[in-house]
Amino acid sequence: MTQGRALIVGASHAGVQLTASLRQEGWSGEVIMIGDEPALPYQRPPLSKAYLADKSSLAELAIRKAEFYGKHDIRVVRGAVARLDRAAQRVKLSDGTTMDYDALALCTGGRARSLPVPGVDLAGVFYLRTFTDVESIRASAAPGRCAVIVGGGYIGLETAASLRALGLEVTVLEAADRVLERVTAPAVSAFYERVHRDAGVVIRTGALVEAMVGDDRVREVVLSGGERVSADLVIVGVGLVPNTELAVESGLDVEDGIVIDDLARTSDPRIVAAGDCAVHRMPRYDRLVRLESVPSAGEQAKTAAATLCGKERPIAALPWFWSDQYDLKLQIAGLNTGYDELVLSGDPSRDRDFTCYYLRQGRLLAADCVNRPRDFVKAKQVISRGLDIDRGQLCASDAL
Ligand code: FAD
């Protein structure tokens, strides 16, 4: 039985996985993936890491080699989908062409959140979401120049480490009281502040940016209170806005992302969604969660492909994430929201490897593992399976 045309909007981690999984699940009809970026789909995480630090090429970042798409009869179309007509099962591209579909997947990801302050449009102010953003940053990033990073989240801190490696003077401005405030425990934030300071990065917390000023390009960042920080370039890393416009305009349920169920179906069961654009009520957490992570995009895409092929493979994997800064590999298992107890294995105020365990009512909820891959693997198993833990044992370096 032929299955007609599957159309995937968005050609990145979720979209590419979805095309591959459709073929694995036996989709026999056409598979077309439409993406609006001017390159073969590439891995995004290295953008703030190896690619920014000039240690890898764009070709090395390809999610799949060009031959993959030919071999599996996957058509990759460059273009932007501007409209979705659900009743007609048709999309319209910004160049006016239309395409009908039998099955549709929205994998539109997100874009960098803009900073609403005067001067943000000056030359020399950048965001970091695409490889073209990185190429613009690198063109300005000569050794000895002053880079100011607005936002002390993972992307901001990775960018700081990469720009230090390129020989720039780096200042991180974070509005909250500590870096990574939204996502980690105070001890983990303090650890990252220490290692960045040791590497020569100036970390300013409680620093609220009010404006950027300059002439032909940015020269200073102005903080509330009037203080000015010199800048040859500014990188803004203050979060992501999910690309939900197609879903909103076509009347799909959207919260902080396109709402999907356990089978990655949107409120229109003929349309699936996956990745950074999607928000999922995770039974494990009993709330809507929008994850911004490659493993999660892949997991949702696999489920979405199975669904389109008439199979039931609910999204089940534990969320996980990683971040690379200097010689430090942070691996995070689970989400720590709602923790009521912390257990540290190792001393983050001194060591360069430790694990921070997050517990709720005595059960392991999440773990931040710095240079502790074994702790990460074990924590993932314990949390996924809901196993009991011996809290007394957690402090040991080979804890679980
Ligand atoms: P995206 O990667 O955002 O891709 C969506 C694609 O769809 C884009 O190419 C977009 O241009 C395109 N698109 C959108 N709308 C349309 C349209 N209407 N028509 C056509 N095309 C459209 N995650 C980790 O797990 N670990 C990390 O260490 C990590 N580091 C990161 C570092 C950086 C600098 C960034 C930016 C992200 C990082 N992430 C990391 C997050 C990770 O990259 C994302 O979770 C992942 O890219 C999500 O994939 P996606 O396919 O859902 O969306």
Digit-by-digit pLDDT tens for the chain (400 residues) are 568 999 999 999 999 999 999 999 999 999 999 999 999 999 999 999 999 999 999 999 999 999 999 999 999 999 999 999 999 999 999 999 999 999 999 999 999 999 999 999 999 999 999 999 999 999 999 999 999 999 999 999 999 999 999 999 999 999 999 999 999 999 999 999 999 999 999 999 999 999 999 998 999 999 999 999 999 999 999 999 999 999 999 999 999 999 999 999 999 999 999 999 999 999 888 899 999 999 999 999 999 999 999 999 999 999 999 999 999 999 999 999 999 999 999 999 999 999 999 999 999 999 999 999 999 999 999 999 999 888 777 776 554 5
Instruction: Quickly count: other Cβ atoms within 10 Å of residue 94's Cβ.
Output: 11
**Ligand 1, atom 53: closest residue by C-alpha:** 109
Q: Which secondary structure element, helix H or strand E, spans residue 83, and what is its range?
A: strand 81-85
The verdict on residue 339 lying in a domain is yes
13 in contact with ligand 1, CB cutoff 6 A: yes
49 in contact with ligand 1, CB cutoff 6 A: no
CA distances 164 to 37, 144, 170, 197, 221, Å, are: 28, 10, 7, 11, 19
The verdict on residue 193 lying in a domain is yes
pTM, rounded to two decimals: 0.96
For residue 353, how far is its CA from the centre of ligand 1 (angstroms)? 29
Contacts of 236 (CB under 8 A, 6+ apart): 112, 114, 115, 120, 125, 126, 127, 150, 151
Instruction: Quickly count: other Cβ atoms within 10 Å of residue 142's Cβ.
Output: 12
The DSSP annotation for 15-80 comes to: HHHHHHHHHHTT--SEEEEEE-SSSS-B-SGGGGTTTTTT-S-HHHHBSS-HHHHHHTTEEEEE--
150 & 251 share domain: no
Residue 273: both structure tokens together: 């969604």
Q: Residue 7's Cα: distance from chain center in Å?
A: 23
Residue where a domain stops, chosen among 280, 308, 336:
308
Q: Could you give the number of structural domains in the chain? A: 3
The per-residue pLDDT for range 262-301, each reduced to its tens digit, is 999 999 999 999 999 999 999 888 899 999 999 999 999 9
Q: What amino acid is encoded at 179 in this protein?
A: V
**Ligand 1, atom 49: closest residue by C-alpha:** 13
96 & 24 share domain: yes
Residue where a domain stops, chosen among 236, 254, 279:
236
Give the torsion through C-alpha atoms of 322, 328, 333, 335, to 10 deg. Answer: -80
Residue 160: both structure tokens together: 């700081």
CA distances 292 to 1, 16, 239, 321, 372, Å, are: 36, 16, 10, 9, 22
* CA–CA separation, 263 and 273 (whole Å): 10
57 & 204 share domain: no
For residue 108, how far is its CA from the centre of ligand 1 (angstroms)? 8
- Residue-range definition of the domain harbouring residue 206: 125-236
Among 19, 44, 300, 331, name the best residue to mutate to test ligand 1's pocket (greatest count of ligand atoms within 8 A of Cβ): 44
Which CATH number characterizes residue 28's domain?
3.50.50.60
Among 37, 51, 108, 132, name the best residue to mutate to test ligand 1's pocket (greatest count of ligand atoms within 8 A of Cβ): 108
